Structure 1
């Protein structure tokens, strides 16, 4: 037996290892691009973002950056917007062609770009971005420009997407802060021979895009605009315009208060020169299919932590599984069937039954047919009107057979929620499967959100079906009203919240704000595609499918629920039951949060680990719901419908508290708008997660209750 256990364990570990190793899988020939010598390589600029803010800005919208000239580079005029998918738009991407010239295999020591005249407001804007640590994202061959780092032991190199726009220093004389702009960039493109026939014809593929920054003062440049000596230490290009006190005094002659210089447009400007260099370096150590690994190489050192999360999840789930097996063994094969054999339940009614005689010596007064003389036997109670004549084991949850399937309060609200929850379950399952298989990978920019939106819209069929069938089970009559609630309630709340938050982002002129055309497109997806799908599914679920059958009949008069013990009250149930699934996923949550809130240009890449932990989390929600529902029924409380939803979604409360902890301890977000966006989107995400797990809890409790009461009636 021990040998079999070792074999099974080794196979499970091998399976988990295989799942976690598919993160670098790419669809061959789908997105690979090769270049020949002297062929133009487009460089696209995207946006700037920061770990200290939730606001992102389009690169060409910045007032201190060289604007596009409109000249053609590689067949495309600079400043042309690149078509984006829905996911890219939602994540704040604004990709445009640039004026940078890159030719495969041709090194450029220095290339002048432009001189940018910047006024006081532009300088102030640049200082704010440098102060908040903003980095810029450029793209070459679908790879983001990266800052290169080396591990402490100098054995591994890894990338951090983006490059700093400037840096902050302090004056050695005054001690005041000084801000410098990185106005000379060195671009290093690493390449290797293309695979297959393209490589035989001289094709090369790009496997790395590194950006090295430097700030060089305007006075250290020659007549061409290039630095006189790139490699020497020179003064940086400071973002500073000397105050014009004469101009201020003339504008405010009778005032003792003079406004700050950057609040007054006095015509003063500073010229910022921009230049760049390009180098191509061959690198045979990196395969094209694994070129994204460098962006995650530093994170792969945490693999042991991911395995710890899986072991933690399996231990907790294993303990719960043992408890659930005991409950099922007790209810289905024990208490339930004993009640059936005793004839205590029949068609939802309790039948009186005389008690068996006590053990001991039989009375000599025994008839020839072997029956005791009930009139003279002193060992037999014959008071048939006593309560003791009812079967002794009809207690606890079995007493609720006539009320346990009574339609819940606000049933017309519960059915649409469960329908929307099944929609989320389908979408999440599809995303995890596609990501684990490698179909959704970093090279598919914005693909995770785009595919998720498509799956959500398509899953409207399942949403309508389950909502309509559950509504029919609750004896609902107005199925069209239920259909509209299913199609409009949850998606409407989701869209309204995002729209209101979008107004605040619009006011900040951030690229994170959704364009008007995108909002119209989302409304069209919602009302013109999802609504008809929900209608079709609801019609089929209500008219073409039978309602769910219940094993016992419902009494005409509701049973009074006794006073609840403290541990069965809703708030304690939700918190205690939600803590267990949270304990399963909290280790992995740290990596997910870092990917979303800190590494805004990156992606959560270990979907193999996340899929395993998510699966164990769902199993844990199922088991916790079974245990909590059984305890509630044993307390003779038949109001389990809504309670099962709250039990299943209980971990969402703990996740939101984890968000608060993450905000105060891990993030350095500054500003009211950024803080509001963080907590609003965190609350929205927790609500979506809670609806998903709450639906799983409801379906689990429904199946469990039908099973145990069906076992009573089975024989």
Structure 2
């Protein structure tokens, strides 16, 4: 595909001005009587495979005459696998249309086979009128009175029901009838009707009909929030009561007067646990540049998720095609400064010298991991000829956003972080010779602590994961972002508390390699989410085929990578504050 300057300019224009309401649609949603209303046909595909979608005219429906008008709605819409085409049906505002023939469709053997395969695989399609979606099935199976001899029935008539208030369209619906057997050589008249009905529903509430209130506001959803909230209280109380009490007793030993020499010598001879590793606990971790990149990226993702949730609550982004995706990309680029600042400051505080390497890793680690997964999925989508395949022009636009916005901001953040937050300020001096780590029981090893650390954070988001997965994989519009914000904050608090407890146990085992352990302890939450995704795929969905399976586990892997990096960074930063706090109050020399 040849990319022209004009096409790139168009994509950038769409990207930069996406949030302008006047450019989010082709008009201001106001119509004059008898003004033409466009019915856009979008995509078609197997109902149980949400990502396996194709151009509507991959099936031998009636094609528009002459020039086919496409509508490109922006970066997020393209990445979401949408391709709107003008159906050229004669629909005018407030003007009813009796049954009208669109075209005569004659099926040959090839076309009949296409429709039969589509009906067998429960193919559905999506239309849009005034940015409001319509859905329907291509056809259905019908059996005789004895439940035998199934026939492939093709719907030939579409009844469009449009409700309006004043000069605005409020609600659209579609029913289908005229089902006829799919037979080779048969001629069908494809028809449609349009009925306009006035309503008193306001334009601001027109999208509420697509929201499944009973599902998302079910009692179990409220109960899950309460359960997670109680977990937060329990964990914060546990950290405050047990750890602080233990540490207070340890501090008391160091606060005694030096004249009690005999008592002091006895305490020193009995000293054990976390106090013995004060000369090694601030030793720079292995692969410092990689850990700094992970922590910086995780801090960026935490800020990104918080910002996107707030924008979704305020701006109701779920009402627009691709709005969430576009918002995510824009906010990711703009929050890259945070990644550079946190990662660069951490790298410099620990004595890192090659800050260019750290910057490149921080700016490119997560995007390139996602790009690698997305590249493989794109090959599958291209092989199948699906709309899920990302056009080359869109890839160029995304790369331009990364190269000219995200990377420079990460570089700026690294420079600022090195100068403002990069000075070493360890409470204890690092000894020249590393202290040997003694053998401990199996449950105090870094591996076990890391694996156990993700259980409680996963438990705090378990119910919400069900609602998120269901909305993404089962055609439900997720709109309860207030719930998501609460669960996200609970996840952050639970992750910090659990990681602090795990770090304390590790240091008490005289193991000073807490940096990577604290990261993996929190990041292991993503492992349990991925295991839950496998269970959800097998039990809660009816997905089939290489295409949908690869997209399901590929998208889930992207999500879990982001979640793992986010939680790992939060856990590490929380443990870092905890470690500095406890070693600041002891006599290290």
Question: If the length of structure 1 is used for normalisation, what is the TM-score?
Answer: 0.75
Contact residue 426 and residue 455 of structure 1 kept, 8 A: no
Please state if 1:547 is matched with 2:510.
no
Among candidates 134, 142, 146, match of residue 131 of structure 2: 142
Report the Cα distance in structure 1 between the residues aligned to 2:306 and 2:289, rounded to whole angstroms.
27
Report the Cα distance in structure 1 between the residues aligned to 2:502 and 2:91, rounded to whole angstroms.
64
Report SS of the residue matched to 2:40. Answer: strand
Please state if 1:657 is matched with 2:531.
yes
Report SS of the residue matched to 1:278. Answer: strand
Match of 1:316?
231
Report the Cα distance in structure 2 between the residues aligned to 1:457 and 1:132, rounded to whole angstroms.
40
Match of 2:40?
44
Among candidates 153, 158, 177, match of residue 180 of structure 1: 153
Report the Cα distance in structure 2 between the residues aligned to 1:170 and 1:582, rounded to whole angstroms.
47
Match of 1:428?
305
Contact residue 649 and residue 693 of structure 1 kept, 8 A: yes
1:461-493, CA deviations, whole angstroms, 9 ceiling, x for partnerless residues?
111122211111221111112212222232212
Among candidates 235, 238, 249, match of residue 181 of structure 2: 238
Match of 2:170?
207
**In the TM superposition, what is the alpha-carbon distance from 1:444 to its structure 2 partner?**
2.3
Deviates more, 1:485-494 or 1:445-454: 485-494
Match of 1:151?
none
The answer for unaligned runs of 5 or more in structure 2 is 1-19
Report the Cα distance in structure 2 between the residues aligned to 1:707 and 1:274, rounded to whole angstroms.
74
Among candidates 350, 354, 361, match of residue 474 of structure 1: 350
Report SS of the residue matched to 2:262. Answer: coil
Q: CA 1:140–1:67 in 2, change beyond 3 Å: closer, same or farther?
A: same
Match of 1:391?
268
Report the Cα distance in structure 2 between the residues aligned to 1:118 and 1:28, rounded to whole angstroms.
43
RMSD: 2.5
Among candidates 202, 222, 225, match of residue 307 of structure 1: 222
Report SS of the residue matched to 1:711. Answer: coil
Report the Cα distance in structure 1 between the residues aligned to 2:448 and 2:268, rounded to whole angstroms.
34
Please state if 1:130 is matched with 2:45.
no
Among candidates 317, 341, 354, match of residue 256 of structure 2: 341
Structure number, greater radius of gyration: 1
Report SS of the residue matched to 1:127. Answer: helix
Report the Cα distance in structure 1 between the residues aligned to 2:188 and 2:91, rounded to whole angstroms.
23
**In the TM superposition, what is the alpha-carbon distance from 1:495 to its structure 2 partner?**
0.7
Please state if 1:100 is matched with 2:96.
no
Report the Cα distance in structure 1 between the residues aligned to 2:575 and 2:377, rounded to whole angstroms.
36
Report the Cα distance in structure 2 between the residues aligned to 1:95 and 1:594, rounded to whole angstroms.
25
1:164-212, CA deviations, whole angstroms, 9 ceiling, x for partnerless residues?
121122356893432122120000001123xxxxxxxxxx222210000
Report SS of the residue matched to 1:318. Answer: helix
Match of 1:253?
none
The answer for unaligned runs of 5 or more in structure 1 is 1-25, 71-76, 146-161, 194-203, 217-235, 242-268, 344-351, 357-386
Match of 1:276?
192
Report the Cα distance in structure 2 between the residues aligned to 1:547 and 1:69, rounded to whole angstroms.
69
Q: CA 1:690–1:441 in 2, change beyond 3 Å: closer, same or farther?
A: same
Report SS of the residue matched to 2:122. Answer: coil
Match of 1:250?
none
Report the Cα distance in structure 2 between the residues aligned to 1:192 and 1:668, rounded to whole angstroms.
40
Contact residue 51 and residue 551 of structure 2 kept, 8 A: no
Match of 2:340?
464
Report SS of the residue matched to 1:355. Answer: helix
Report the Cα distance in structure 2 between the residues aligned to 1:585 and 1:490, rounded to whole angstroms.
23
Give the 5 Å matches for 1:203-602.
Answer: 204-214=167-177, 216=178, 236-241=179-184, 269-284=185-200, 286-297=201-212, 299-300=214-215, 302-330=217-245, 333-342=248-257, 354-356=261-263, 389=266, 391=268, 394-437=271-314, 439-599=315-475, 602=476
Report the Cα distance in structure 2 between the residues aligned to 1:516 and 1:28, rounded to whole angstroms.
27
Contact residue 436 and residue 611 of structure 1 kept, 8 A: no
Report SS of the residue matched to 2:115. Answer: helix
**In the TM superposition, what is the alpha-carbon distance from 1:499 to its structure 2 partner?**
1.0
Contact residue 337 and residue 711 of structure 1 kept, 8 A: no
1:417-471, CA deviations, whole angstroms, 9 ceiling, x for partnerless residues?
112212211211111111122x143322211110110111112211112221111
Q: CA 1:163–1:420 in 2, change beyond 3 Å: closer, same or farther?
A: same
Report SS of the residue matched to 2:406. Answer: helix
Report the Cα distance in structure 2 between the residues aligned to 1:482 and 1:301, rounded to whole angstroms.
42
**In the TM superposition, what is the alpha-carbon distance from 1:661 to its structure 2 partner?**
0.8
Report SS of the residue matched to 1:712. Answer: coil
Deviates more, 1:90-99 or 1:536-545: 536-545
Report the Cα distance in structure 2 between the residues aligned to 1:389 and 1:129, rounded to whole angstroms.
82
Contact residue 64 and residue 123 of structure 1 kept, 8 A: no
**In the TM superposition, what is the alpha-carbon distance from 1:119 to its structure 2 partner?**
3.3
Deviates more, 1:676-685 or 1:426-435: 676-685
Contact residue 655 and residue 686 of structure 1 kept, 8 A: yes
Match of 1:114?
103
Contact residue 216 and residue 467 of structure 2 kept, 8 A: no
Match of 2:545?
671
